[in-house]
């Protein structure tokens, strides 16, 4: 984790890692530090990284691919259940990546080029650098503390109502609540919008697939 400082830590097939290794991610994802206790002292290492974790949707790997999956709901629950709730709370974007059909692979799409996307991201990062220019040790929305969140990400009455409805419907934790607001702030930055709008909150919540109460049961 410390070697990934200011970079990306990619973990493939994360559910097959020892439980202790997976759970060791929790504190660094929150504190952006690695704390190693010793008998009479404690050693700290920096660990401000972006975690990218990949996993199959079920033991056979075919859930969501038509009728190819032979796993039961219980098997799927047990499989992805190896990722604890407290750990998933700390992962901002939980995406379901479906396989492309042959037509999508062969046909040339009209999606934005990487250069266009990178330019938009640079603008959003510049906005964040300006936002946190007076905050020591922070340059992105993901690094905000709760106090900074209240300062830089205020919600209007409509935004508060939207979040209340989302929390009640999805059973979100307080940690997920704060992380959704951070992601919504980034979505607004990408659009060049100075305020967080309900549409941004809805989009940010839509990226938390595993927070849905019925996500693994259907």
Q: Which fold has domain 2-35+42-91?
A: Rossmann fold (3.40.50)
The CA-based dihedral angle spanning residues 164, 170, 173, 176, taken in that order and rounded to the nearest 10 degrees:
-90
Q: Look at residue 109 in the predicted model and tell me its pLDDT.
A: 64
58, HSE (Cβ side, Cα atoms, 13 Å):
21
Task: Specify the range with the lowest mean pLDDT, choosing from 31-45, 112-126, 188-202.
Answer: 31-45
Q: Give the model's confidence band at 213: pLDDT under 50 very low, under 70 low, under 90 confident, else very high.
A: very low
Calculate what percentage of the chain has a pLDDT beyond 70.
95
CA-closest candidate to residue 170, choices 126, 135, 204, 119: 204
Q: pLDDT grade, residue 26 (50/70/90)?
A: very high
Tokens 């890692």 belong to residue: 17
CA dist., res. 170 & res. 206, Å (int): 11
34: helix, coil or strand?
strand
Q: What residues pair up with 10 in beta bridges, in sequence order?
A: 52
Per-residue pLDDT, averaged over 142-166, amounts to 94
Greatest mean pLDDT among 95-109, 150-164, 168-182 lies in: 150-164
**79 pLDDT above the threshold of 80:** yes
Domain ranges of the chain: 2-35+42-91, 114-211
| Confidence tier at 71 by pLDDT (50, 70, 90) | very high
Residue that the structure tokens 């919540």 belong to: 205
Task: Write down the pTM of the prediction.
Answer: 0.85
Kindly report which listed range (3-7, 86-90, 110-114, 147-151) carries the lowest average pLDDT score.
110-114
Please indicate whether residue 136 or residue 9 has the higher confidence score (pLDDT).
9
């Amino acid at each position: 984790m410390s070697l990934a400082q200011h970079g990306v830590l990619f973990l493939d097939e994360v559910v097959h890692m020892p439980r202790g290794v997976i759970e060791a991610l929790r504190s660094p994802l929150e504190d952006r530090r690695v704390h190693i206790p010793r008998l009479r002292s404690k050693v700290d290492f920096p660990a401000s990284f972006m975690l990218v974790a990949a996993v199959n949707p079920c033991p056979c790997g075919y859930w969501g691919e038509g009728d190819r999956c032979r796993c039961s709901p219980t098997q799927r629950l047990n499989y992805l259940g190896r990722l604890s709730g407290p750990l998933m709370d700390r992962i901002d974007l939980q995406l379901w990546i479906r396989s492309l059909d042959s037509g999508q692979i062969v046909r040339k799409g009209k999606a934005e080029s990487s250069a266009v996307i990178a330019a938009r991201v640079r603008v959003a990062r510049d906005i964040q650098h300006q936002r946190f220019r007076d905050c020591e040790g922070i340059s992105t929305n993901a690094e905000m503390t709760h106090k900074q969140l209240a300062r830089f990400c205020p919600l209007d009455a409509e935004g508060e109502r939207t979040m209340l409805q989302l929390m009640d419907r999805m059973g979100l934790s307080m940690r997920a609540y704060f992380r959704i607001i951070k992601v919504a702030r980034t979505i607004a930055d990408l659009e060049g919008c100075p305020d967080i709008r309900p549409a941004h909150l809805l989009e940010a919540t839509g990226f938390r697939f595993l927070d849905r109460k019925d996500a693994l049961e259907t």
